[in-house]
Amino acid sequence: MTTPSPTTRQHTVVDSPYGALTLVATGGALSGLYMTDQRHRPPEETFGDPDDRPFTETVRQLDAYFAGELTEFDLPLHLQGTVFQRDVWAGLRRIPYGETRSYGELAAELGRPGASRAVGLANGRNPVGIIVPCHRVVGASGGLTGYGGGLERKQRLLAFERRAHDGTPTLF
């Protein structure tokens, strides 16, 4: 198999306990994971050709995550965004499984304590939900705030991770 060019885009759609997930690869690396009706979901025509070959490992890791057997993803990612957005997305990946951070806490961890609103905007533009766990960010009071995939999905993802982390049975 030849290596895809750095700009070749491909996609596939997989089922999950949270609905259909559209996976997008750019140059063979995961560049998008989009839920049905997700806010900031790019137009379908930008996803590239249908081809499930680049996603074997992504699907394997997602299946293990949804089974409660994987707590940290290890996949090559191709994330396009500003330097600040990429810093926020890297910060999201450091939030441990089953835990949450507030937007303000994440801003402080990034050395930008006054940037909680900007962190929230960057969080909302995360192109690889679940794998880059933007669902783990909550409001200052600990309450649920916006989530591109919808608050009900965010609540379910957080409850799933808490149950799996605590060792209680996982129900979808």
Question: Could you tell me the end-to-end alpha-carbon distance of the chain, in angstroms, rounded to an integer?
Answer: 38
CA distance 12 to 30: 11
Looking at the DSSP bridge assignments, the partners of residue 128 are 33
DSSP H or E stretch at residue 138: strand 137-138
Nearest to 23 by CA among 37, 33, 9: 33
- Which tokens belong to 89? 């997305």
Q: Yes or no: say if 38 and 124 are a contact pair by the CB < 8 Å rule.
A: no
Q: Which residues are catalytic?
A: 134
